Structure 1
């Protein structure tokens, strides 16, 4: 019942924070958010799940299965559990939520109880997305995430917040509709072979070859259509080029703590779902279309990096960086090698930490300067040495500095992709993707040189000084976690490997 405890406590905490006066809401929310952090870390320490939660022989940890409702011929259950893919993402969610709440103490100055309540509500929904093992239950949590994020952008965002919030909602809602249709295409194709919407039952029925025709279309066509619909639905959330245009607007207009959660956790919903649905349930279709998917991945890596290179706004630079980083995840997944799929999953966690750190550092600078434009300031390292030092460390982590989590994740993805027998000309695709690191280094070094170094220059009527402790403390926590995962990747990588090994076997055409 520990998964339920996490979800229910986060919902109760959200309700309590809504009732607290604004002047106490931030501190109260931070204290309450420490409980899910402690519980998730304890769950991680005693984690005993084996295999993949969707495949035969997999035994998720902290599993609960109880009848809920009946939808026509299908039983809908409260079915939750964690394996080596979802456990690290739950820990990431709880940690980033607490750090985002603390980082919001300075910039959020109105409707504070509502802001922090929505953040905690979103935490509950995110945990549900990563833990749910019944499709309808999963879809409820998936959609529930949209509600608080819409208000967090639309109420507390920048000058164009309403446009960004509506664009985010429309894009992701249309994507949800398409993926819903794609999934039920599979359900109808399976016919009487399933009597539940449980993800393990559906994955195992598909693996056993029980998919039939739908509306006169054969099983192969049904699979391909469902794969395309699901891929589109999740690619928008990732986002994959060319479905990415909502992301920069959302990041720029969102308050920085919301950008931390958007880049750190919400984007991982898309890659997590791709792994669960497209690359586990429909691994044979992914294998048959490996070249096309690898092209999507490499284009996202290079195009996202080139877009970042052209930006003047620090938040837009980090936002486009996320598109590039998620391209590495797609490349690792389609490689269908242990290090490829495992490295892609590790990259989800690593990018969540590093992108969160980058956005927080940008937010601290903005709190003091009230600008994010790299042409408006220089020499910030003299006035804000601690923040500047963390920003430099985060940037080098993004570039893949050894002994930081970004290096471990990218090396694993490149090793796995280079060795892939599924991707035609795998070494070529890998080499092109690796060139993205050069572009990353270019735009991050340019941003640091213009904003942090040289003579101090900023047109302002007030003094720029060191940031308060409440702003920089979350930076050091995230930096420590990035270094810890870089020095000891097995903190998560061993359990990840256990959960993805069977997926690679499916991708290579074997059984789980």
Structure 2
């Protein structure tokens, strides 16, 4: 009942905070948010799951399965449970939510009870997305995320907040409809072989027989799989986001208050990549490999184009927002590789990016709270006036660049090793092009830091520049510590991830592209350093 505990605390806590006076809501919401952290850390420490949640032979941790209702021929279950992929994402969600709430104490000055209540409501929805194993239950949580995020951007955002909130809602809602159609094309193709919308039952039916999927509306079974795959991919690609359906993200980030940007980049984007892993690459692995070249093109274009867009920005928030598009491209690349290190690295990169992007957005928020500007050309020499924030921003930027002993390096390293050893055509070439994105990342972050942090002090504002409050600085230290821990000891979560990913690589011939020869080659080239 631990998952129910997390959901219950967040939902009941949201109701309590909604009713609390504004002057108490900030601290009250933080105290409530600590309970899910304690619960998720306990779950992580006692995790005993085995295998992949959707595939045969899995033993789920903290599983609950209760029949809910029947819709036509399908039985719907309240079914939740965790494996090595979803468990780290649950911990990431609880940690970032608490830190985001603390970071809101400075900038949020009105309608505090509603703001913090919506933050806890969104936390519950995100936990549900990562834990649900019945499609109907999962879809409810998936759509529920839109409600608090829409209001958090539209009410507490910047001057163009209504436009950004509406664009976010329209893009993601239409994408959900496309994904929904794709999923049911696949379900209808299964005919009477499944009487439930449980994801494990559907996955095991499809992967257990080459003839499980039948024709639908005159379409051949192979065409049914392909149509379902790309409809679901299109729906999830918007949430990731993947180029060219990424344009809602910079607008949402720029207009959203900093705490909301932390959750948006740190957790909400992972909904898309997590769903791709669960649905596209687990339910239909043979289609993913058949069209690997098409998918890897989306990945590489997102990496390079997102990085180039970041290079052209002057707003610090837009820089971090576009770099998220680039980082999510690495996740897609790892998934397409369909090797242990590819899919495992993609999952590790989800966690790593959540921590690093959260750190950078918090740093930008602290700078904006003090200077009231985010434009690179409006400030310089902040290092002397804001040394702690400067140090955290520099460290976070180097983590994004892939500095060794930080999580960004390990995430990208796993992905590159996995994709270099993948079986799709020209895998080393595509991997090499994607690796060039790191050079561009270094370019725009070094440029932004050089302009804003160093040189002679100058800020085009009438506000006095002072050191940030303690409650703004503590979240920076927490995230930086976690980034270093995962970079120095990746097995803290990678062993857990590996246990859930390995069964996926055994579904197709993808497991033949083993990463070990690549690791041996790299060790030889590096003189044994690795």
TM-score range, shorter chain: over 0.9
1:366 aligns to what?
368
Q: Is the 8 A contact 1:336 1:508 kept in 2?
A: no
Which residue number in structure 2 is paired with residue 132 of structure 1?
Answer: 132
Contact 1:284–1:509, Cα closer than 8 Å, also in 2: no
Q: Once the two structures are superposed, what CA deviation does each residue of 1:222-280 show, in whole Å capped at 9, x if it has no partner?
A: 00000010000000000000010000000000000000000000000000000000001
Contact 2:315 2:375 in 1 (8 A): yes
TM-score (norm 2): 0.96
Secondary structure in 2 aligned to 1:158? coil
Match of 2:240 among 238, 241, 266: 238
Could you tell me which residue of structure 2 aligns to residue 179 of structure 1?
Answer: 179
Q: Distance in 2 between matches of 1:477 and 1:284?
A: 41
2:470 corresponds in structure 1 to 469
Structure 2 residue matching 1:239: 3-state secondary structure: coil
CA RMSD of aligned residues (A): 0.9
Report if the CA contact (8 A) 2:372-2:461 is conserved.
no
- Equivalents in 1 of 2:35, 2:273: separation in Å? 27
- Which residue in 2 is equivalent to 1:33? 33
Residue 251 (structure 1) aligned to one of 233, 249, 253: 253
Q: Residue 524 of structure 2 aligns with which residue? A: none
CA–CA distance in structure 1, aligned partners of residues 393 and 458 of structure 2: 18
Q: Which runs of 5+ in 2 are unaligned?
A: 513-530
Query: What residue is the counterpart of 1:275 in the other structure?
Result: 277
Judge conservation of contact 1:279–1:507 (CA < 8 Å) in 2: no
Name the structure 1 match of 2:191: 191
The one of 231, 239, 245 aligned to 1:229: 231
What residue is the counterpart of 2:482 in the other structure?
481
Judge conservation of contact 1:379–1:457 (CA < 8 Å) in 2.
yes
Extract structure 1 runs of 4+ deviating beyond 2 A. 459-462, 507-511
CA apart distance, 1:324: 0.1
After TM superposition, give the deviation of residue 509 of structure 1 in Å.
6.1
From 301, 322, 325, the equivalent of 1:323 is: 325
- SS for the counterpart of 1:211 is coil
What are the equivalent positions in structure 2 for 1:88-103 lying under 5 Å apart?
88-103=88-103
Cα distance change on mapping 1:167 and 1:507 into 2, 3 Å: farther
Partners of 1:285 and 1:362 in 2: CA distance = 41
Query: What does the per-residue CA deviation read over 1:349-380, in whole Å, with 9 as the maximum and x for residues that have no partner?
Result: 00000000000000000000000000000000
Shift of 1:510: 7.6
1:21 aligns with 2:21: yes
User: How far apart, CA to CA, are the structure 2 residues paired with 1:372 and 1:111?
Assistant: 24
Over residues 127-173 of structure 1, what are the superposed CA-to-partner deviations in whole Å (9 max), with x where a residue is unaligned? 00000000000000000000000000000000000000000000000
Distance in 2 of aligned mates of 1:124 and 1:51:
25
Counterpart CA distance in 2 for 1:510 and 1:294 is 18
CA distance in 2, matches of 1:415, 1:258: 34
Partner of residue 426, structure 2: 425
> 2:488 & 2:149 partners in 1: Cα distance?
34
Q: Does the residue aligned with 2:302 lie in a helix, a strand or coil? A: helix
Is 1:211 aligned with 2:213?
yes
- Provide the rounded CA distance (Å) in 2 between the counterparts of 1:280 and 1:460: 52
Matches within 5 A, 1:115-126: 115-126=115-126
Q: Which residue of 1 aligns with 2:393?
A: 391
- Preserved contact between residue 338 and residue 510 of structure 2 (Cα < 8 Å): no
SS of the equivalent of 2:69 reads strand
Residue 312 of structure 1 aligns to a residue whose secondary structure is coil
Deviation at 1:459, TM superposition (A): 2.2
Instruction: Supply the distance in 1 between the matched residues of 2:463 and 2:80 (Cα, whole angstroms).
Output: 53
Aligned to 1:265: 267
Unpaired segments ≥5 residues, structure 1: none
2:143 is matched with 143
